[in-house]
Amino acid sequence: MTAVTAAPEPARRRFALPSAYTILFVLIVLTALATWIIPAGRYQLDPDGKPIPGTYQQVEQNPQRIVVDSLMAPINGLYGIEGEDGSISVWNSGTLFGAIDVALFILVIGGFLGVTMKTGAIQGGIARIVDRLRGRERLMIPILMTVFAIGGTTYGMAEESLAFYALIITVMIAAGYDALTGAALLLLGCGIGVIGSTINPFATGIASGFADVSINEGIVGRIVILVVGTAIGIAFVMRYAARVKADPSTSLVFAQKADNEARFQAGGSGEIVAMTGRQKAALTLFFLAFVVMIFGVIPWEHLGVPLPTLWWWFPEMTASFLLFAILIGLVDRMSETSFTSTFVDGARDLLGVALIIGIARGITVIMNNGLITDTVLNAAEQAVANLGGVAFINLMYVLFLPLSFLIPSSSGLATVAMPIMAPLADFANVPPQLVVTAYQAGNGLVNLVTPTSAVVMGGLAIARVGYGTWLKFVWPVLVLLAILTIVVLSAGVVLQQ
């Protein structure tokens, strides 16, 4: 009698969160459905195109077609077209431009970063820092975390950090620390920099654009978050590293100690090649690009500073980064073919971000065309009517935390939330730039731990640190960073009154 072999049970499919694209498009459809249910209404507008509190009135319903208008919304959002007549119906002057300005800016930034990374300037600069601090690895923690925080606050350094994990972890293990020390150095360094973004075009720039404020407004509070937050992160990582060096058994990844030592030391730290003159020049131009951007967007005349005000915004910033990409390519003596292919590859890496902005903008288009934006604002105005400015801004910060889990893309969340949240700040007599700060701090905090982040999960995978171990390690820092943000936001409201 032949034995019957049971067929193997099919592997159970694990639940996976849908991508940001799917989530945003579902929100577009749900918003279109809402235009059939939520009453339509309008605010009277002041000369600046902003809603006047207390002037809301209901108007005739204008429900949106579920299929056709949902499909057209992202396209019209990119072009800046709202309304069947092709006009732009604005209740906030921040929506005067379409998302195409922002999307093109993102693509050019991608090309700029791609060209810079191609030169090896950023990688070479960090490698040289590591090499010069051999034997003084304890100093490497504050210095490198500061460098990575600068990367986070200026251009939202995230995925680029994955290239440094093997090098940093190798050096940390050789110095008597562990793999978690190296991973924390990178994740917290870049992440806290993003939380305290000052001129980060992907967070502060996009959110400021949709909030109709200059990127420099609110920068003092963000610098405080950046400096104090980075100090908190450095102190926390150094304290843990010192404990592990004194007693390796206290390491949260002690069980993998032998395996990690064999794995990373076997690969070696590699020979550090001296930076060339071209790379040094490219690195100088890289940072100069952000200095020029800052100069271009700050309204010097309003500050009483005797410097010319250029009134730059997305078109001018886009052109500036394109120029610096070309200059970096020329300095590195790239061929025309190499430069164009590298630039296009860099832009391709951020194509998904540009598409997310278009899809997210579609939600605003549906709400505006369905005449429910002002209705939602009116409901929110009533909800915050009895809240003081401090309570309001901290409520905004708390709201951005779950929203960041739902929409982890910083660009997508800014595009969705700012057209609603920024005018709401006017009703509470809170400066809209504080809402930008609340958004980027909340989104940055969540992106330090969200399991849908390729940076978090990728970095932990390289370091062989379990996700649960990372949560156990990092939660005290998250609490301290949240408290810091709340203090800065509250102080911002008090000082503005």
Contact (Cβ atoms closer than 8 angstroms) between residue 427 and residue 381: yes
Residue type, 382: Q
Chain segment 274-291, per-residue pLDDT in tens:
788 899 999 899 889 888
Name the token pair of 134.
């051999």
d(CA 67, CA 269) in angstroms, rounded, equals 55
173 found inside a domain: yes
191 found inside a domain: yes
pLDDT at 139: 85
pLDDT at 48: 65
pLDDT at 333: 93
pLDDT at 320: 93
300 found inside a domain: yes
13 found inside a domain: no
232 found inside a domain: yes
9 found inside a domain: no
pLDDT at 273: 62
Name the token pair of 461.
């995978």
Positions of E strands within 164-322: none
Chain segment 354-412, per-residue pLDDT in tens:
888 788 778 888 888 888 888 877 777 777 767 788 999 999 899 888 888 777 778 77
7 found inside a domain: no
* 344-366 per-residue burial string, b: 16 or more CB within 10 A, e: under 16: eebbebbeebbbbbbbbbbbbbb
Please report, for residues 148, 241, 256, 297, 319, the alpha-carbon distance to residue 173 in angstroms, rounded to integers and kept in the order given: 20, 10, 12, 44, 44
pLDDT at 345: 92
Name the token pair of 150.
């600068």
Sequence-distant (≥ 6) Cβ neighbours of residue 423 within 8 angstroms: 50, 51, 91, 92, 377
Residue 212 half-sphere exposure toward CB, CA atoms < 13 A: 21
Q: How many structural domains compose the chain?
A: 1
d(CA 282, CA 74) in angstroms, rounded, equals 37
d(CA 20, CA 360) in angstroms, rounded, equals 9
Range of the domain at 289: 20-496
Contact (Cβ atoms closer than 8 angstroms) between residue 276 and residue 213: no
64 found inside a domain: yes
Q: Which single residue is written with the structure tokens 């070309």?
A: 326
pLDDT at 11: 52
End-to-end CA distance of the chain: 89
Contacts of 242-246 spanning 24+ positions with Cβ under 8 A = 242/138, 244/176, 244/177, 244/178, 244/181, 245/175, 245/176, 245/177
Sequence-distant (≥ 6) Cβ neighbours of residue 340 within 8 angstroms: none
Residues (pLDDT < 50) of the chain are 1-5, 84-97, 266-270
pLDDT at 49: 66
Q: List residues bridging with 45 in a β-sheet.
A: 51
